[in-house]
Amino acid sequence: MASDRFPSFIASQLSYLMNHFSQAIKVEQAWCGSKNHTGVLDRFTLCIPYCLDYIKWDIIYNAEFPLSAPDVVFGPEDEHFHPFRLTSGQGGEEMNPLKSVLSNWSYKDPTRLFVLIQELRNEYILYQQKRAGAVDDDRLMFEIDTIMSREGIEILVSSGPEKPEEVKFAVPLLDMDINKMVRGCSWRHIQKIHLQAVYSVPKRYMSSPSAPRLKLVSTPELKTLFSVEDVKLPSWVSGMCMAEYLPHLEESLRGQIREAVASIDVRRCFIEALAPLFGRPLEAEPIFCRRATFLVASGVFSFMVHFSIPTQFPRQQPGLMLMSSQHFSSQHVPIKSAVRTDYPWSPRWEPSQMAERLFDFLVDEGMNFKKYCNEMQLQV
């Protein structure tokens, strides 16, 4: 997004929002709404994380009247979301924090958009909770009553003319600070794992409701340490509720997270075991120890070996990719091999034995790779 096309006051507020919001907000599109300031962007669509998905709101500034607060246009699926209204039973308009945000608006204050979006999102959470509470389903009412005491749960009710009504729960798991468990980690956001549980609202004539659809979702950066896709979820027994299901799931996840953190040192020991045979690595990723590159010579032929070490190491073996330092394609790109895993391997070997077997493999494979490079270069 070309921030230089935003007026300075909008760019300042948008930058503060993007850099300080607790989750990663995205700008999907921006456009100009002024006839007198064509080319100046003063409105945009925000993609705001909610319930493991995104809600999209249009933020409408007016470049010609910078003193005015922006309008906010919500999605068509939220036509009944009116956060700027409060009934008298809710304390009246004077109690609405959003009214306070708008009445105290200052275009010179870079925090104003951040505060506005944060308050709107808080209101949206309450709005979706009320929608879920109005769903005519005893099982869902029981789930909501027994689990909403957990902090951070988000609910989304979705329906459509050709889509059955569903209620989605995003349940944050674990009370572990994963960021602090990894030494030297520079993750920008707090790493989290959620359970997504999607309940289909059954028709009244259905005798027994189906089990919810369950899925683990993590923040994207966590995959460098631990992939939730490798986790086998416990079975959902008929008649079970989330309050029963979650303790077993969290106990399993705690053990797997601790194992994943401990595996960093296992990968580090493997890389260190390669050094006596391959020499000092040209490059080695120091935090998670997932990658390392060594320069190898076979006679006068030299090539690099890139090691890609999986999180499941040593149960899963590293992938090797060879790259020549002397042969290039017609686009002047070094010739590479495919990722190789067809070498002797056992997860029960000591790191030193793994390194020795890999070295022996590459002594022979180096000549084959040189031949391959020569043939590829002849085709250029």
**DSSP annotation of 255:** H
Rounded distance between C-alpha atoms, residue 308 and residue 320, angstroms: 6
Q: What percent of the chain has pLDDT over 90?
A: 68
Write down the pLDDT at residue 204. 64
C-alpha triplet 169, 147, 258: angle, nearest 5°: 80
Name the pLDDT band for 99 (thresholds 50, 70, 90): confident
Could you tell me the two tokens for 9? 């006051």
- Per-residue model confidence as pLDDT tens digits over 176-209: 899 999 988 888 888 999 999 999 887 765 566 7
Name the pLDDT band for 346 (thresholds 50, 70, 90): very high
**Residues 286-315, mean pLDDT to the nearest whole number:** 93
Name the pLDDT band for 87 (thresholds 50, 70, 90): very low
Do the Cβ atoms of 156 and 128 come closer than 8 Å? yes
Average the pLDDT over each of 21-30, 32-41, 223-232 and give the range with the smallest value: 32-41
Please give the model's pTM, rounded to 2 decimal places: 0.81
Write down the pLDDT at residue 190. 86
**Residues 345-368, mean pLDDT to the nearest whole number:** 94
C-alpha triplet 181, 260, 321: angle, nearest 5°: 120
- Per-residue model confidence as pLDDT tens digits over 202-220: 776 556 678 899 999 999 8
List beta partners, residue 306: 293, 321
CB count in 10 Å sphere of residue 103: 8
Q: Where are the alpha helices (DSSP H) in 109-156?
A: 112-133, 138-147
Answer with the residue of higher pLDDT: 360 or 209. 360
Nearest to 63, CA basis, from 31, 86, 87, 40: 40
Which value, in Å, is the radius of gyration of the alpha carbons in the chain? 28
Could you tell me the two tokens for 348? 């029960």
Q: Tokens 């359970």 identify what position? A: 195
Tell me phi and psi for residue 131, to 5 degrees: -60, -45
Do the Cβ atoms of 294 and 277 come closer than 8 Å? no
